[in-house]
Amino acid sequence: MLTTTLRSALPILAAAAILAGCAGSSSLPSSTAPAGLNARHLPPPGTLYSWLQPGINSTHVADNTAETKLTVGNVHKLIQGWSFGTGAQIGNPIVTDGSTAYADSGDGYLYAIDVLTGAQRWRFRTYYGNAWATSPAISGNLIYVPCLVGGSSQQNGLCAVNRVSGALRWSYYDNCNCLPPSAIGEGPVVSGSTVVIGYYNKHVYRNYTITALDSTTGAVLWVILAGNNTVGYGLENSTPAIDNGNIFAADAAGVCSYQLATGNVNWCNGPSDGGTAPAVSNGVVYVNTFSHGFYALNETTGSQIWQYAPCSGCGNGYDDPPAIAGSTVYFSGINQGYLYALNASTGSLIFNTSGDGSSAYTDSSPSVANGVVYVACNMGLCAYNASNGTLLGAFGAGGSTLGSPAVASGRVYTVCGYNNACMYHL
């Protein structure tokens, strides 16, 4: 998890695109050639082999309902399949299309890693030497990642890269000619033909925007100020979620719903420190705040359904987004770093993991698959029984932070040892 100090520094690196935003492109080189990978050998994205975005898809529910190989009964047998080292900390979740795992490192490269062998297929020079930038997202044959276009600090933006070859398809940036320069604060999240990013622009005080781009060409579809279209309070900790043609984004002023097609505001409501990534399931928007508890909001109206406050005056960890599986919502944090499970309909507590000891404290948002909750923890990768919170096993070494695990086809991908991407299997 990010510390508060690190999070407070993020707006300096974040950036926005006001209506005058311009698209740019560059022939950013891949540093290594693809390892003979052919597109016909790849499973299509969206199958049970994939975890395409943080939280698995645009709703960020972080629940792989197609997983069958890993179970409550065998997850304790996980072993490390490989460890892939990078030159700096990996501060965000790993994503996978089933054949390749993608890790965005603070050393300024996006790495494509063979899921079976751990060998590098290619790497793409993002120039973005910031482990906290944001996780990449996959859609079709493209993977979207923050980058400095052409290596220019005035061209902080988004690059769309061919997921098979590592070649640049298009790039977008807004050059404000200012310091700090415009840059991506959060995103990308992809739904259909649209990719959405949170952007920061120094031209106007607290000028955080939401920018929608054509996912195939990078053309600007629309740009709005975040939060009632009047003043943006910052999406630096809040990757938007997309569901049913609407975008849900949280900032310091609350949670807002926007129309994906136009950017028009549907509603704004919710906690005053709602600057965390929402997750949406079955008509409900779930958001974990830093100090005001956990909220469930009506997806259509924004009205509050319930609020859960674990203790009087205590913080809720580090703005970690939740995971939703069936009738249960899971989230981590709460000062001591426990994993919590709540009834998704009522907000009543089902369990927390305070009885599992300090060695099982959480370091990331949770992910769920086939009755098991996975989370980066003090011991490395922790696996819990999703029904009662029993610790089923801990794997690897401590120090893995931020990278909420991706679980697909009997494999778990996570950050280990800060600089490394790791895969665990039976």
Per-residue pLDDT tens for 162-207?
A: 999 999 999 998 877 777 677 787 779 999 999 999 887 655 555 6
Q: What is the mean pLDDT of residues 120-140?
A: 85
What pLDDT does residue 230 have? 44
Query: Which of the four pLDDT bands, split at 50, 70 and 90, describes residue 289?
Result: confident
Q: What is the mean pLDDT of residues 20-35?
A: 37
Q: What is the mean pLDDT of residues 309-330?
A: 77
What pLDDT does residue 354 have? 80
Q: Is the pLDDT higher at 242 or at 398? A: 242
> How far from chain centre, in Å, is Cα 384?
21
346: helix, strand or coil: coil
What pLDDT does residue 187 have? 77
Query: Which of the four pLDDT bands, split at 50, 70 and 90, describes residue 252?
Result: low
What pLDDT does residue 271 have? 67
Pairing of strands 220-225, 241-243: unpaired
Supply the pTM of this predicted model.
Answer: 0.87
What pLDDT does residue 272 have? 62
What pLDDT does residue 321 have? 84
Q: What is the mean pLDDT of residues 304-328?
A: 79
Do 290 and 314 contact (CB within 8 A), yes or no?
no
Phi, psi of 142 (to 5 degrees): -115, 150
- What is 4-34+41-425's CATH topology? Methylamine Dehydrogenase; Chain H (2.130.10)
Do 145 and 126 contact (CB within 8 A), yes or no?
yes
What pLDDT does residue 400 have? 54
Distant-in-sequence, close-in-space partners of 89: CB < 8 Å, separation ≥ 6: 105, 106, 131, 418, 419
Q: Is the pLDDT higher at 367 or at 361? A: 367
Q: Which of 87-96, 275-284, 342-351, 390-399 has the highest mean pLDDT?
A: 342-351
Burial tier of 179 (Cβ tally within 10 Å: 0-12, 13-18, 19+): exposed
Distant-in-sequence, close-in-space partners of 12: CB < 8 Å, separation ≥ 6: 180
Q: Is the pLDDT of residue 30 over 60?
A: no
Distances (CA, A) of 233 to 131, 236, 289, 296: 23, 9, 15, 21
Q: Give me the half-sphere count of Cα atoms (radius 13 Å) on the Cβ side of residue 123.
A: 19
Q: Is the pLDDT of residue 378 over 70?
A: yes
What pLDDT does residue 403 have? 76
Q: Is the pLDDT higher at 231 or at 17? A: 231
What pLDDT does residue 239 have? 85
In sequence order, the β-bridge partners of residue 382 are 375, 394
Q: Which of 28-32, 104-108, 316-320 has the highest mean pLDDT?
A: 104-108
Q: What is the mean pLDDT of residues 52-70?
A: 95
What pLDDT does residue 166 have? 98
Average pLDDT, the chain: 81
Sign of CA dihedral 215, 414, 350, 273: negative
Closest CA to 279 of 114, 59, 104: 59
Query: Which of the four pLDDT bands, split at 50, 70 and 90, describes residue 276?
Result: confident
What pLDDT does residue 273 have? 62
Distances (CA, A) of 324 to 48, 51, 79, 395: 18, 15, 26, 23
Do 39 and 142 contact (CB within 8 A), yes or no?
no
What pLDDT does residue 293 have? 79
